[in-house]
Structure 1
Amino acid sequence: MADGSTGRTVRVLVVDDHPVVCDGVSTLIRRAEDVSVVGSARTAREGVDLAGALRPDVVLLDLRLPDLPGAQTVPLLRAAAPDARVVLFTAFEDRNALSAALAAGAHGCLLKDVTDTDLVAQLRLAAAGRRVLDPRLNGSAPAQLQARLFGLSLSRREYDVIRSAATGRTNPEIAEELGLTRNTVKTYLQTAMHKLGARNRVEAIRRAQQEQLL
């Protein structure tokens, strides 16, 4: 479906140390019959335990938790509930923490001031396997971004591959998203790593973040 609906109830787990956030999410999606909050957790470790027990479709994860940072929590959540989509849910535009969590395998990021319609639509898209990212979190303005790419000799396609890799997508997933072959994605990734002076994709993502490309 065009709206990303999965045709069944999207089960959401909220991991946030502020109880009002879970209540707020429940309130925002109360009118959607196909999306519901099935649980909430105050800490990363509690969230991992609940994710394993509840097997939600989407985990809304606060970028800042008292026990573990987002970059460490994301892999634990994905291991506990491999089919769940982990979406960062934050009020802070902390690019370092955000990039680290995306590089660790998060499937996107939303800001906490989303409206009810936006949140429901994004949760549906996430559950359907789509990348979700609040447009306000995108990189620099087009002209500035183009200037940075030119300075690094990066092509737009190489940048697109690195940006997708930063969301935790595998090469086959990037190929599907960008309409490329797997070998072409591999080639773009290798050339991008070379131009960024990186030995692997994690270093490439970090270097791209340092260059304010992500």
Structure 2
Amino acid sequence: MSTPIRIVVVDDHPVVRDGIRSMLGGVPDFEVVGEAASGPEAVVRVGECDPDVVVMDLRMPGGGGVDAVRELRRRGSRAAVLVLTTYDTDSDTIAAIEAGATGYLLKDTPAERIFEAVRATAAGETVLSPAVVARLASHVRRPAGGAALSAREREVLALVARGTSNRAIAEGLFVSEATVKTHLVHVYEKLGVADRAAAVATAYERGILGG
């Protein structure tokens, strides 16, 4: 048996939090190791539990998720943050991604998709709902003089946009993971971005990726 993915659930509504915990707790390769009702409490719980993934709501009376994500990054936490919220406004989505959230899904996302997102987030992959991709794209501006992507770089980026892990991309293209990472570094440089989420958003905005 592989080591289960350790999860902390953060939501200010007890019924919602219990539902998410029960849903995730029923998956064999997941282990819910803690929960919190606010951003500040989440920071404390993550410090205590050292989870792989934090499933985080955003708007909470006791302290929001964006500030919590920012604080976790400041502290150098290894936990990846998957935002699971009812809000997809610009102020929420952009702020959360800029703060360092690895994924962003809405609460009406089917359970199986959430399970897949938790696994991808634990692997360091970016997972974004289509609505979030659209909002990110509208906020990304094209830097002057960006170099064109090669055919292989576009191929890798298209797979990233589908939520494919580096390992799966490497297997599908019959190359090493190191080669995939090198392609991504070149993509980031050419698009003028710093991470997978921004690369996907920029590619949609420029028409490099369709849809």
TM-score computed with the length of structure 2 as normaliser:
0.66
In structure 2, the CA distance between the partners of 1:103 and 1:120, relative to structure 1 (3 Å rule), is same
**What does residue 170 of structure 1 align with?**
none
- Mark the CA change 1:30 to 1:56 in structure 2 (over 3 Å): closer, same or farther: closer
Q: Which residue of 2 aligns with 1:77?
A: 72
- 2:57 equivalent in structure 1: 62
Instruction: Classify 1:79/1:55 alpha carbon distance in 2 versus 1 (closer, same or farther; 3 Å).
Output: farther
**Structure 1 residue 153: deviation in Å?**
8.3
Task: Report Cα offsets for 1:180-202 as digits up to 9, x if no partner.
Answer: 264x456425xx48xxxxxxx7x
Cα RMSD after superposing both structures:
3.9
Paired residue for 2:190? 188
Match of 1:139 in 2: 134
Q: Is the 8 A contact 1:56 1:81 kept in 2?
A: no
Corresponding residue for residue 114 of structure 1: 109
Provide the identity percentage: 32
Quickly say closer, same or farther: Cα 1:114–1:36, change in 2 above 3 A: farther
SS at match of 1:88: strand
Distance 2:56 2:39 in 1: 8
Letter in 2 for 1:35: F
How many residue pairs get matched? 175
**Compared CA separation, residues 106 and 176, structure 1 to 2 (3 A):** farther
Q: CA deviation at 1:133?
A: 1.3
| TM superposition outliers: structure 1 runs of 4+ over 4 Å | 152-157, 175-179
Deviation at 1:25, TM superposition (A): 1.1
Rounded Cα–Cα distance in structure 2 between residues aligned with 1:156 and 1:110: 30
8 Å contact 1:58–1:126 — kept in the other structure?
Answer: yes
Q: CA deviation at 1:24?
A: 1.3
Provide the TM-score with structure 1 as the length reference: 0.65
Deviation at 1:136, TM superposition (A): 3.5
- The answer to whether residue 13 in structure 2 is matched with residue 10 in structure 1 is no
What per-residue deviation string (whole Å, max 9, x for no partner) do you get for residues 113-138 of structure 1?
Answer: 22222221211111111111123422
Of stretches 87-96 and 74-83 in structure 1, the one that deviates more from structure 2 is 74-83
| Residues in 2 aligned to 1:11 and 1:88: alpha-carbon distance in whole angstroms | 16
Secondary structure at the aligned position of 1:56 is classed as: coil
Unaligned runs of 5+ in 1: 1-5, 165-174, 194-200
The residue that corresponds to 2:17 in the other structure is: 22
**Contact 2:9–2:21 (CA under 8 A) maintained in structure 1:** no
Mark the runs of 5 or more structure 2 residues left unpaired by the alignment: 150-156, 162-177, 206-211
Q: Which has the higher contact order (CA 8 A, sep 6+)?
A: 1
